[in-house]
Amino acid sequence: MSNSTPLPSSKTILLHNDKPIDIDTLRLNSLSNNSTVLDLVKELGLTNPSQAVALYVNALPADFSALLCECEKIELFDFDDAQGRGKEVFWHSTAHILAQAVLRLYPNAQPTIGPAISGGFYYDFAGLDISLEDLKKIEKEMQKIAKNGATPTRETFSAEKAKELFHDNPFKLEIINDLLKPKEDQLSNNNSPVFSGYRQEEFFDLCRGPHLSSLSKVKAIKLLKTSGAYWRGDSTNVMLTRIYGVSFPSKDLLKEHLTFLAEAAARDHKMLGPKLDLFSFHPESPGVPFLHPSGLILFEKLLSFWRELHKKRGYQEIKTPQLLTKSLWETSGHWDHYKENMFVTQSEDREFALKPMSCPGGMLYYKSKHFSYKDLPLKLSEVGLVHRNEFSGALSGLFRVRAFHQDDAHIFLLPEQIAEQVCEILELIAEIYSTFDLSWSLELSTRPSTHTIGTDEQWENATQGLENALKRYGMNYKVNPGDGAFYGPKIDVHVGDAIGRSWQCATIQLDMALPERFNLEYTDATAKRQRPIMLHRAILGSVERFMGILIEHYKGRLPLWLNPQQVRVVPVAHSHHEMAEKIHNQLIELGFHSKVDDRNESMGKRIRCAQLEQVNYMLVIGDKEVETGDLSLRSRENPDSANVSLNEFLEKLCTERNTRSNKSLF
């Protein structure tokens, strides 16, 4: 390095996708104190469209125009950065391209907000009326803008200037005024906050950034759909037009993504569930699923498996009321921190609420008895029906509902038992998820910045307790700052399905606040009264939501032990009905779900019907089967028929079910 380089190894840390780069080995003679991070990126040869799409300087998001002389720590992230930092910048920049294209084609439209989201981006517009056909035209204009390769440049200005720049956009003005509200103390001291916006060619938008170094990195764009969306998600506000899209640094990546979306659509539980006659929704109870007979069988099979494993581990199952008084929710803290999500009612001049979670009821059970240290850990499980007043626009099949069953558990324990009990829960999680061939990962969520209960010491001790448990368990985890529950930190467990999607299911929450609020106690070895620590814990999360995940994970092809449609017996003619009924009855006696299909339809149509209903096994009974006593078997996975003896079939069928196999034994 020359003496003019601003990157002496004693000062600057340089990372690329979280991997350190040895500065001493670099030859950066062309750089000077006036050089930017973009100059450094070019010097490093990170010029592929997928490389160096996002930047952190001194641990904060930044633009590539940042001066090297001001950088003590530089972190560069590619598009495929594991934590999604690259995609977030890439997709937010493309949202600006979308807004620019819309304004070119529809000058009277008013842009509002355009964030990056999981799987792409969207932008909301007022004064825009378009159809799906119009998306192609907008997409073409976006491609033209990206090809021009403008560099988004940041501009800063005062609050007064911000209002002047966006005087004709009431949505931007509302955002500006909201940002000023918490700054009133600064305004009184003549310290007006600084606003920022980004300019690319003729388009300018209020935005804090950061953005791509060049829009030319966006090589492939696809607008996916359009829908209505209330301004700021409030149904009392004006309805906007939302356009969803996705973009990539190469056409091949877009092609892969569209293939993935097609596969995800084919697995959509909102389509497969009704098709398989598992559940339905009705406007008379919006957001609450109706489980059909087959759906209830699946529901009960999941809970039977769940109860079996919990019984082995010493859990005691309880059931607490759904309707509880306002005073209870005030004691728990939910009335102050969660009321907007609760269904509230009155009776005899008293206020009640349907429980959104089961924990307060568990507190009352604990208070109804006297416990000593010898009784701890006390493991109480509950499959509680809970209600949450979700916004109607957020409802989504079984994934987001207003009423669901939570596989809850509350474990009351001594401080020295935290690590052991958390590890035991993680072992239970591993056993349950592995049964379904689901992968999983861990995330530690810490204290939110506002609206929490409990002391600083309680939060510190609780967080440390979970960290120690995770280290003891020995599995890698990442930290999610500020995403804990209002009463304590938590471990969130994300499961990965058959096509690589991630779902947040299990949670383990360490709570020192509720035992104190409810004045819970136990007697220690010296006969003194002490406060227990409590773990909240769910594994399936919502049983209904987990059903939806499994439907999509298996693409509706549920394994034998879960399937409400296990065996279909198809007699070719009326003369074969007696044997079909005999086999059917044997299957019923063994606890299988069997059905004889003797409708006046062709055999081919009846077999096809069984295949569409994802029946695991089909037995065709004709003259040959009646004569030999053997069976003509077709499996869901193999449409070709095979001859098996009845005893062999029943033996393997029982083995496949009892071992909870995910694969057919035929």
What span, in angstroms and rounded, lies between the C-alpha atoms of 77 and 91?
Answer: 14
Please tell me the distance from the alpha carbon of residue 518 to that of residue 406, in angstroms, as a whole number: 22
379 noted as active-site residue: no
359 is an active site residue = yes
Dihedral pair phi/psi, residue 371, rounded to 5°: -125, 145
Long-range contacts of 367-376 (CB under 8 A, 24+ apart): 367/518, 367/519, 367/520, 370/523, 371/412, 371/522, 371/523, 371/532, 372/522, 372/523, 372/524, 373/414, 373/522, 373/523, 373/524, 373/525, 373/530, 375/522, 376/412, 376/413, 376/414, 376/417, 376/522, 376/532
Asked if residue 497 lies in contact with residue 470, where contact means CB atoms within 8 angstroms, the answer is no
Contacts of 302 (CB under 8 A, 6+ apart): 540, 543, 546, 547, 562
Instruction: List C-alpha distances in Å: 405 to 288, 357, 614, 653.
Output: 11, 10, 26, 31
Among 108, 14, 10, 24, CA closest to 56? 14
Question: Pick the catalytic residue: 222, 387, 490, 657?
Answer: 490
The residue from 39, 124, 408, 511 that is catalytic is: 408
Distance CA 279, CA 263 (A): 22
Q: Which of 405, 536, 545, 553 is catalytic?
A: 536
609 is catalytic: no
Distance CA(157)–CA(559), nearest Å, equals 61
Nearest Cα residue to 404 out of 389, 393, 394, 391: 389
What stretch of H or E contains 542?
strand 533-542
Closest CA to 112 of 135, 91, 95: 95
Catalytic annotation present for 410: yes
Q: Which of 16, 359, 387, 417 is catalytic?
A: 359
Which of these is catalytic: 92, 96, 388, 568?
Answer: 388
Q: Which of 410, 537, 576, 636 is catalytic?
A: 410
Q: Active site includes 536? A: yes
Question: Does residue 39 have an active-site annotation?
Answer: no
Task: Tell me which residue has tokens 């907007």.
Answer: 340
Which residue of the set 406, 417, 509, 566 is catalytic? 406
Cα distance between residue 358 and residue 579, in whole Å: 51
Active site residue 242: no
Residue 543 · residue 407 · CB < 8 Å: yes
Residues labelled as active-site residues: 359, 388, 406, 408, 410, 490, 536
